[in-house]
A and B are shown apart, each in its own frame.
Chain A
């Protein structure tokens, strides 16, 4: 498949379009899913945070109350060492950032360290009043716990504990973050996998669809492209089978029409070329024949003119007379030759409009013209009945019939019962007319030669050898063919011809009214009337 073909481009465009649409859809879906997931994540985190904060608050409240009681004795007794120990113990179970024990005057007594740098300083921030609950103050990363150190309603001071995020809380938060990250990664991986799956599926389907679509679109174009290439290569016998009712169908039909016209033109050209070649060959033969056959009487004239001069000088008048007679005969022959040539050339130049011709009547007319010769030789002529009406140049067709009948009568030879027959037979779709005789026949090798100009199988015979050439010229001018058939010498000959099936020379309804121009016997044959 060509990658630069129109089908490939269509496939690419359609696939790219499908992919783009799917990508946009996936991106939009992913964004919506992501946004929703984040909202859910935030809601979940807020809920967990709120629940944890409530738990923390309860736990820290309990821790504050416990410390408030636990620190009372050492604070009341100003036992800083015990207070420090208590602070250290507290650090074991609470994430203490700082721990201040404040005396009744609001001054820091100890911060639990050996250096006790806060000692004697005013406690920062508010302190819970008598009977007040512990204060829980949350800052960014720390929680401050402020509580009274009291027992039995007697206050010994306050505790201020700053707590960092407890390790378990940090662990929980990390766990939550890790789990959330894992969940998110899982979701993202799922989304990506789904997206990739959909993308690949869409790519596959898109490619299939685009291929089908592109083939649907491109196949006619490809066919037309191939057809155009075939036409360009001169092969006009592959018509496009596309018959769609759209522009492509119109284009295919136009291409087919163009191919048909080109084929017709080409056939016409080929025929013309063939005709031209035949004419050229004939012209060559004609030139040769004319130069040869016209030269013969000239040689005769020239020879006998010389003899006549000698005889005249010698006073041989009789010889002179004979010489002059031969000169005149040669000149007459030359005159006949030139008349025949003129007639032959006229066939190519003089064209009469075609007309419906009753072939039977035309045969009779031809037989009438040959009546004397036929009767003289006692030739029996048979004409088949029901000859059709043909469309042809009447005068020329009469010349054909006249020449063929005369030729048949001429070569009856020594036949005791000479007979000439005009008939018709059907060869497939073709209607063949023929003139058959039972005369001297033709050697098969000369069957074609007899149609040549000035060709005479019997050099001593009468005529100039132009008749059959004339017949061929006229028949071919009518779009038909003419040929000779013979089983050999002494076995008669048949001259067949056809006329074009349509147009000029086409045969039509049979001529009912014509039976025979001659007197018909009981067998359907007729003899020339005397």
Chain B
């Protein structure tokens, strides 16, 4: 008997067992498991749903195929315009699980009050990453303190490494970050502009639309050589988890458990690995340890507080 057939047989037996359990379970519990789960993402800037569909199509397809034997369907990818939209969809039960970096995840958790980080996302082999602060080679800026009165080019407000984390690092250094168009900033603050893309941040710095920029180490390495050589890194942040998978709190535990099992096993075969790679360079999922989980939650006090300052 081939492995596939054996697997199918096992799944068939598991399905029969689940069916039996369902028949034996109380009527209230019998209607709880959703027939279909939905995965939600944000296509903020640029708001291009087609890109998201392209990026996550294989991921959704793999989940659909692997969850089908358990009687769990995977619905169409839910694309939200921004964090508020996604948060509302979570509240309404239209989205069952999301993939985001730490800062938007914590924001969503705070706003929806129904999101529980469960899996760590390893991207391009990294469990965590840092933000780097860079400026032109000839710039006089040498440290975060030198940014006062200057303009920092960031990516987008929901970005962890290119907004929240730099802001947290600046806050940690006692430097406030204000939007460049928010009236007249004092010389002790740092103004920021949003370039919407990492490469734009670098170009803007080189073209004088800002004095410095900040994004993660991976983006720094991905810069074109000719661009990167005209820039230099002058500060680095603390490391932070690369990304998270969080489930809606009200999601039926068995379904969530099955989802977690399937996602944790995706990197173990070629098809799953290809789907992960295509989905924004994911290497694998790992179950968050309690320590990691606590560390993630601890970031809330840093990232969210700095936002409030």
Residues on A lying within 8 angstroms of B by beta carbon are 78-82, 84, 103, 109-110, 113-120
Contacts and interface: CB of A to CB of B under 8 A. Distances in A.
Given A103-B207, A120-B230, A80 B222 contact: no
Interface string B8-35: 0000000000000000000000000000
Contact of B224 (A82, A103, A114): A114
B13 to A, nearest CB: 49
B196 interface: yes
Interface of B: 46, 195-200, 203-204, 206-207, 209, 222, 224-227, 230
5 contacts: A78-B204, A79-B200, A80-B197, A80-B203, A119-B227
B223 to A, nearest CB: 9
A116 B200 contact: no
A81 B226 contact: no
A114 B223 CA distance: 8
Contacts of B222: 114
Contacts of B209: 78
Contacts of B224: 113-117, 119
B196 A81 contact: yes
Identify the 8 closest CB pairs spanning chains A and B, nearest first: A81-B197, A116-B224, A119-B226, A80-B199, A80-B203, A78-B203, A115-B224, A79-B200
Contacts of B206: 120
Contacts of B230: 120
Given A78-B203, A109-B203, A116 B196 contact: no
A256 B191 CA distance: 138
Contacts of B204: 78
Nearest to B51: A85
A80 B198 CA distance: 9
B53 to A, nearest CB: 16
B207 A78 contact: yes
A117 B228 CA distance: 11
Contact of A81 (B200, B207, B225): B200
Nearest to B48: A85
A120 B197 contact: no
A78 B200 contact: yes
A79 B226 contact: no
Q: Which of A78, A109, A113 has the most CB of B within 10 A?
A: A78
B196 A79 contact: yes
Contacts of A81: 196-200
Nearest to A74: B200
A117 B222 CA distance: 13
B200 A80 contact: yes
Contacts of A78: 195, 200, 203-204, 207, 209
A113 B223 CA distance: 11
Contact of A79 (B197, B225, B227): B197
Contact of A117 (B196, B197, B200, B225): B225
A102 to B, nearest CB: 13
